[in-house]
Structure 1
Amino acid sequence: AMPPFERTPVHSRAFKQRKSFATRKQEAAGIRTKFPNKIPVIIERYEKEQFLPPLDKTKFLVPHELTMTQFVTIIRNRMALLPSQAFYLLINNSGLASMSLTMAQVYKEHQDEDGFVYMTYASQEIAGLLDEVQSWFSPGSVLADVNKVRFPYNT
């Protein structure tokens, strides 16, 4: 019998393997045309992650003006994480964005050649990349409007 869900969900490399560059580029361009005020983001779990749950969606359409702090809060809430649970969000598997950046700024700096922004989440430091960075806890002062973010896709 098949298990009810994959123990290790697909991550960004697998997403790129599933769809050709041309297909991804066409899809991102279509999203940008249809939703000019939204940023197409792919969020996937770090392949060796053991503590954080898989997200129910991989693709998110995020408003330009949303900050990384608000976005992290939305993702944490979507996973129903406790305030004490550590959560890192890496961009392009390479580093952390400043939490004060807007998604428009993140997109400008970090968009992939295919037009998506790729993010990976994990509960711990990955390969020493985050040695001097504190993990992010749920910022109680930020009340992100969850309705601002569209979740139109299945994985």
Structure 2
Amino acid sequence: MRSEFKNRKTFEDRARDSAAIRDQHTNKVPVIVERSSSEKSLPILDKTKFLVPDHVTVTELIRVLRRRLNLAPGQAFFLLSDRGLPPGTQTLAELWESEHDEDGFLYVFYAAQEYFG
């Protein structure tokens, strides 16, 4: 999946931003959350850059994002990384460690349907 955030900012700017964030907030993870390019039914978040405490799990992040998007309880919502669907019990620190981009940000995408590829 291609990130709009990457299209808007140069690699150098992104790397500098993430390094500054990690230096100032050692117990937080810089995360970019974007709507999947193929997603049409879910609304777009009001912001894409999040600073998430490293102990927060993927499930907790999903709960926060669902609340920000004002989704109905039964509405489907999936959070995807480049490798697919991360385990809900995985912390953001663990996910960042295994899947962060070379610019230092963790990129995740949300969609109403689970898909891979």
| TM class, shorter-length | over 0.9
| Between structures 1 and 2, the one with greater helix share | 2
Q: Which has the larger radius of gyration?
A: 1
Once the two structures are superposed, residues 15-46 of structure 1 have per-residue CA deviations (whole angstroms, 9 ceiling, x without a partner) of 11211111110110000011111100000011
* Residue 80 of structure 1: how far off its partner (Å): 1.0
* Residue 14 of structure 1: how far off its partner (Å): 2.2
Gaps of 5+ in 1: 1-10, 131-155
Match of 1:105 among 72, 94, 105: 94
| 1:21 counterpart letter in structure 2 | F
| 1:17 counterpart letter in structure 2 | N
RMSD value over aligned CA atoms?
A: 1.5
Instruction: Say yes or no: does 1:31 pair with 2:21.
Output: yes
Gaps of 5+ in 2: none
Instruction: Say yes or no: does 1:16 pair with 2:19.
Output: no
Matching residue of 2:71:
81
| 1:58 counterpart letter in structure 2 | T
TM-score of the aligned structures, taking structure 2 as reference length: 0.93
Instruction: Give aligned pairs, total.
Output: 117
Q: Percent identity?
A: 45
* Structure 1 residue runs of 4 or more that deviate by more than 6 Å after TM superposition: none
